[in-house]
């Protein structure tokens, strides 16, 4: 069931919007599921980017004594680059899905400081 929904989200991402006051529960569940998938993707791409970044960092490898370890540096570099691009994409999607909350909180914070 999850795979069927996931395949639907990517080509139809532009059709989804945040629920407004009068929408039904099914719309809210679809939006919550989309947000969950995007957040999961953010976590996975961050983890890959972070770990490959650590593996590319020579000073850390020397400090831990792993500098003698033969690593596929071209593959690690490609994984790091692509996961960084995907991370940026998912951040943009995350921000666009949460734009109403971001705007509302910004207004509250700015109104409280005046």
What is the pLDDT, as a whole number, of residue 101? 93
Q: Which three-class secondary structure state does DSSP give residue 114? A: coil
Buried b (16+ CB within 10 A) or exposed e, 48-65: bbeebeebeeeeebeeee
Residue 19 lies in a domain: no
Q: What is the largest CA-CA distance in the chain?
A: 62
Measured CA to CA, the distance from residue 82 to residue 78 in angstroms comes to 6
What is the pLDDT, as a whole number, of residue 69? 78
What is the pLDDT, as a whole number, of residue 19? 46
71 Cβ contact list (under 8 Å, min separation 6): 55
Count structural domains, the chain.
1
What is the pLDDT, as a whole number, of residue 85? 97
List average pLDDT for each run of 10 residues in the chain, which is 114 residues long.
53 52 69 94 97 90 81 91 97 96 94 72
Give the range of the structural domain holding residue 81, as residue numbers without chain letter: 2-13+24-113
Helical spans, DSSP H, in the chain: 2-9, 25-56, 58-64, 73-97, 99-113
């Amino acid at each position: 069931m999850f795979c069927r929904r996931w395949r639907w989200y990517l080509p139809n991402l532009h059709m989804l919007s945040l629920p407004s006051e009068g929408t039904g529960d099914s719309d809210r569940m679809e939006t919550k599921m989309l947000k969950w998938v995007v957040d999961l993707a953010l976590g996975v791409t961050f983890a890959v980017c972070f770990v490959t970044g650590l593996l590319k960092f020579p000073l850390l490898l020397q400090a831990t004594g792993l500098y003698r370890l033969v690593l596929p540096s071209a593959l690690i570099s490609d994984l790091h680059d692509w996961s960084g691009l995907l991370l940026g994409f998912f951040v943009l999607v995350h921000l666009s899905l949460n734009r109403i909350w971001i705007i509302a909180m910004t207004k509250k914070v700015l109104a409280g400081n005046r």
